[in-house]
A and B are shown apart, each in its own frame.
Chain A
Amino acid sequence: KQEVTQIPAALSVPEGENLVLNCSFTDSAIYNLQWFRQDPGKGLTSLLLIQSSQREQTSGRLNASLDKSSGRSTLYIAASQPGDSATYLCAVMGWRWLTFGGGTRVLVKP
């Protein structure tokens, strides 16, 4: 059974610092890996989707890498801003559905 882990569970950084969020998964047989953002009491917003054949995906200040063989993905957020404060979840798509990690709660201090 696929298991997805995100460490640390919470992270606090000063504004302007680069953010590095980690995600690991146990089964490398995946279709894709997705990163989401969740604001308190809200639904999820899709940030990046990396196909299993890709190594990385970029959107603006966000860059996500995928290493299927080692079961790891990293989300980089450059030059963090207070508006980046949220919970970030990664999820892997197996042959039937998405399996989510527990999320990393990020606080960017002004």
Chain B
Amino acid sequence: DGGITQSPKYLFRKEGQNVTLSCEQNLNHDAMYWYRQDPGQGLRLIYYSQIVNDFQKGDIAEGYSVSREKKESFPLTVTSAQKNPTAFYLCASSTSSGTALNQPQHFGDGTRLSIL
């Protein structure tokens, strides 16, 4: 079955530590996105990538970094500079056929990050 796989499901970070969240898709989508969701709130965009080797900052990129070396993969690193990283992180992808902005986004099941 095609879909988006996020791992791990739960992740704990120590003070001063960088952690990396994995996102893999087998939908052959060009565009991939990372969102952060805080309790009772909507999603906010961290980074997005329309093609391999290219990515753009979203609304709340500070303290995060990404890479896009392969079409299928878009890992997110939460750095020690992110002072309030506790949240639910969601990865999404969409096709770029036609106008990418008009394509629905497909989501993974998320990674819940907590501070130890």
Residues of A within 8 A of B (CB): 4, 9, 31-32, 34, 36, 41-46, 49, 51, 89, 91, 93, 95-98, 100-103
Q: Find out whether the CB atom of A89 lies under 8 angstroms from the CB atom of B43.
A: yes
Could you show 17 A-B contacts with beta carbons less than 8 Å apart? A4-B42, A31-B101, A42-B110, A43-B4, A43-B90, A43-B92, A43-B110, A44-B43, A44-B92, A46-B104, A91-B43, A93-B102, A98-B45, A98-B105, A100-B43, A100-B44, A103-B41
Which listed residue, A45, A49, A97, A101, touches B42 by the CB 8 Å rule? A101
Residue B109 at the chain A interface, CB threshold 8 Å? yes
Which range contains the number of B residues in contact with the other chain? 20 to 34
B-side residues, CB < 8 A to A, are: 4, 6, 33, 40-45, 48, 56, 58-59, 90, 92, 99, 101-102, 104-110, 112
A30 and chain B: residue at smallest CB distance: B101
Give the CA-CA distance A84 to B116 in the complex, in Å: 35
Highest count of chain B CB atoms <10 Å: which of A4, A46, A51, A101:
A46
User: Within 8 Å CB of B42, what residues of A?
Assistant: 4, 89, 91, 100-103
Nearest Cβ on chain B to A50's Cβ, whole angstroms: 10
B58: contacting residue among A9, A46, A91, A97, CB under 8 A: A97
A93 to B56, CA, bound (A): 16
B45 in contact with A34 (CB, 8 Å): no
Note all chain B residues with C-beta closer than 8 A to A49: 102, 104
- Closest residue of chain B to A95 (Cβ to Cβ) is B101
